[in-house]
Structures are given as structure tokens and as C-alpha cells.
């Protein structure tokens, strides 16, 4: 079964997104560690990562290219608020799948459910 990894320093955000995606039927792992995130991706345990703006001492701008080097087929959903457009452009070029704001209402939660569903469907269609 496909495992989703939620990697974010904010405990409340991790918990909220994990509950949301578990309810949707996904196998979810959460972490606030860049090392655990990199290891999960490198070992191909996680195919979809929901990545917060900061993780330990790293920012998403540093982590996205590193994660993509570990697994070029990795699907990264960036969950970040108040992000300068040049930074978003940089990670889009590095290969993020989608950028969303932190879900705070049911509308934001539905966006997360839909983007994860789309990411999983894309992975299922992709040849190995």
C-alpha cells in the first residue's frame, strides 16, 4: 500500500492533515525530522510527501531538490503560507507537484484530499 509522509515542524498541522488523510483511507506517517523524511524517500517507503515550509533546520527550498535527487519520481505537495513568489518558482522548477496553503477550514481540507487523490492516481498510471 502507498504510504503518505507528512513532514512539518508544526505538530498541529501534522495531526490535522494525518487525521484528514487517514479518514480518507490512506496509510500515513508523520515526522518533524528532515533526516526521517530523507530516509523515507531514499528507501522509497513514501511516494507522496506533504512538506511544510520548515523541517528542523531546513527550509522547503533546500529540501525539495534534495528529496527529488533521492527519488526523482517522488510527488511533493508543498504546504506553505506566506511564501514569496520567487521561492515558489524555485521549487516548482525543482519539481513540486502542487502548492497549497495550510488547511484551516473544510474548504482547505477538501483541497488537500483532492490533491492527494490526484497525486496517488498519477503514481498509479506512471510506469516503473
Higher pLDDT pick, 27 / 108: 27
For the segment 58-84, what is each residue's pLDDT rounded down to a tens digit? 889 999 999 999 999 999 999 998 889
Structure confidence by residue, pLDDT tens digits, 21-55: 999 999 999 999 999 999 999 988 889 999 998 88
Positions of E strands within 11-100? 27-31, 46-52, 54-55, 58-59, 75-79, 98-100
Calculate the CA 33 to chain-centre distance: 13
Give the separation between CA 127 and CA 100, rounded to whole angstroms.
Answer: 27
DSSP 8-state code for residue 32: S
Q: In the structure grid, which three cell numbers stand for residue 19, read together?
A: 487525521
Amino acid at each position: 500500500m502507498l504510504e503518505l509522509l507528512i513532514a512539518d515542524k508544526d505538530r498541529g498541522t501534522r495531526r490535522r492533515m494525518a487525521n484528514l488523510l487517514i479518514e480518507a483511507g490512506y496509510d500515513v506517517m508523520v515526522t518533524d525530522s528532515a533526516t526521517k523524511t530523507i530516509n523515507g524517500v531514499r528507501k522509497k517507503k513514501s511516494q507522496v510527501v506533504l512538506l511544510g515550509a520548515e523541517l528542523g533546520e531546513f527550509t522547503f527550498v533546500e529540501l525539495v531538490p534534495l528529496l527529488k535527487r533521492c527519488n526523482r519520481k517522488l510527488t511533493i505537495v508543498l504546504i506553505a503560507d506566506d511564501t514569496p513568489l520567487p521561492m515558489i518558482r524555485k521549487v516548482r522548477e525543482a519539481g513540486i507537484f502542487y502548492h497549497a496553503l495550510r488547511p484551516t477550514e473544510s474548504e482547505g481540507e477538501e483541497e488537500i484530499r483532492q490533491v492527494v487523490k490526484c497525486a496517488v492516481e498519477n503514481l498509479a498510471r506512471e510506469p516503473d
